[in-house]
Amino acid sequence: MAKTKTAETTKDVSEFILEFTDSEQKRKDSHELIKLMEQVSGFKAKMWGPSIIGFGTYHYKYASGHEGDAPLLGFSPRKAAISLYVSTGEPGQDEFLKNLGKFTMGKACIYVKKLSDINQDCLVELMKNTMTLTKERYT
């Protein structure tokens, strides 16, 4: 079975932000997200793979037999948008998403151009919901 690329690393988070981000706004938003996600999750920011900042960890195992570890919450300050790794499309999340603000949604994440485009209170509730669902599903 193939090894997952998204494993926890020892790379320094602040150094990654400085090297990876392409604007002062993205650096500022990244540091704000770190504070927010550390507060909500109770975990310190760690690098996962080459470009994801993650908080906490859980172990998953799929019916296919594939298993591994992943962060409970995470984000990546990518060039096109900040990718927020939170649960999407789960029952009961419509209300959070309806009031979240300006974003687009992918299969496994939410994309925002800048943090000021979204309602941070809704984001906090979405993060809490993500952690609850993940712990229920994989515990």
pLDDT at 1 over 60: no
| Cα(103)–Cα(96) distance, integer angstroms | 12
Of 94, 82, 83, give the one whose Cα is nearest residue 125. Answer: 94
pLDDT digits (tens, 9 = 90+) for 16-69: 999 999 999 999 999 999 999 999 999 999 999 999 999 999 998 888 888 899
Residue 8 included in any domain: no
CATH number of the domain bearing residue 45:
3.90.1150
Residue 4 included in any domain: no
Residue 109 included in any domain: yes
pLDDT at 107: 80
Residue 99 included in any domain: yes
Residue 7 included in any domain: no
- For residue 5, count other CB atoms closer than 10 A to its CB: 10
Residue 5 included in any domain: no
pLDDT at 106: 85
Give the burial class of 94: count Cβ atoms within 10 A of its Cβ; 0-12 exposed, 13-18 middle, 19 or more buried.
exposed
pLDDT digits (tens, 9 = 90+) for 123-136: 999 999 999 999 98
Total domains present in the chain: 1
Structural domain range at position 66: 13-138
Of 1, 94, 5, 90, give the one whose Cα is nearest residue 48. Answer: 5
Query: Which of 62-65's residues contact partners 24+ apart within 8 Å by CB, and which partners?
Result: 65/1
pLDDT at 3: 58
Residue 57 included in any domain: yes
pLDDT digits (tens, 9 = 90+) for 72-105: 999 999 999 999 999 877 777 787 889 999 999 9
